[in-house]
Amino acid sequence: MKQRCNLRAILITGALAVALAGCRDKPGTSSGPGASATSGRPNVLLITLDTTRADRLGCYRYAKARTPAIDSLAAGGMRFDNAFSHVPLTLPSHASLLTGMLPPEHGLHDNARGKLGPEPVCLAEILRGRGYKTAAFVASFVLAKQFGLERGFDVYDDRMPAAKGDHSIYAYTQPGNVVADRALEWLAARGDERFFCWVHFFDPHAPYTPPEPFDRASRMATTARSPSWTRR
């Protein structure tokens, strides 16, 4: 199948590796059996990156930023200067993103509390009803399927490693490279199928323990340990 890729970026930042591609058929091309039902429909890849400040990204004019892949994506696409999360919390903000509703409407107000009710219609339900294969790969327990965001997804991968020591809800997370590998494996198996894939990363979230070479300890010749605020 001939395709024109509108977006393609590879982001490699320590443990975080993301491959992003959004493709659309060229006008008049066929995707084989069933092409008439899906011709011209774009694949949809939604990537969410937890607790990332816009004013620390190069595309938002932060001079010290080291975010070349995100900056390149912004330069080749559309960057919004007036867009805000409805809630500064992972679960309710993603619920708003996937339903188009405010927290008082969809009913989720906090992390790891409650469950999305039956009334809201999720984006994955709409797209699956139109013939899309749907999958989600999330990196934090606060987005586990028990909270209701799995509706409409053929695959909802919320597997987390066992927490060591710290047993708070924020200790149950998956490194970005693992999440990316699982998503890429699923995408590689899609062939000509139309897909909606949501990939969620949690790496920028506290506790702030960046991998090499971003660990400050590796760049502090006069200090034996990194600053306390990076090890909260």
Q: Break the chain into its structural domains and give their ranges.
A: 3-22+37-49+87-231
pTM, two decimals, is 0.74
Contact 122, 133 (CB under 8 A): no
Q: Which two tokens stand for residue 145?
A: 């399927």
Q: Is the confidence at residue 218, as pLDDT, over 60?
A: no
CA gap 203, 181 in Å, rounded:
15
CA angle, 214 then 216 then 217, to 5°? 120
Beta strands in 54-154 (DSSP E): 133-137
Q: pLDDT: is 212 or 96 the higher one?
A: 96
Query: Tell me: the pLDDT tens digits for 132-180?
Result: 999 999 999 999 999 999 999 999 999 988 766 666 776 788 889 999 9
Q: Which two tokens stand for residue 3?
A: 């395709």
Question: Residue 84: what pLDDT?
Answer: 87
179 burial type by CB count under 10 A (0-12 exposed, 13-18 middle, 19+ buried): buried
CA gap 195, 133 in Å, rounded:
5
Residue partners of 191: CB distance under 8 A and separation at least 6? none
Query: Tell me: the pLDDT tens digits for 49-83?
Result: 998 889 999 999 999 988 998 999 899 888 999 98
Contact 45, 197 (CB under 8 A): yes
Query: Tell me: the pLDDT tens digits for 181-192?
Result: 999 999 999 999
Neighbouring C-beta atoms of residue 50, cutoff 10 Å: 19
Supply the mean pLDDT for the chain: 78
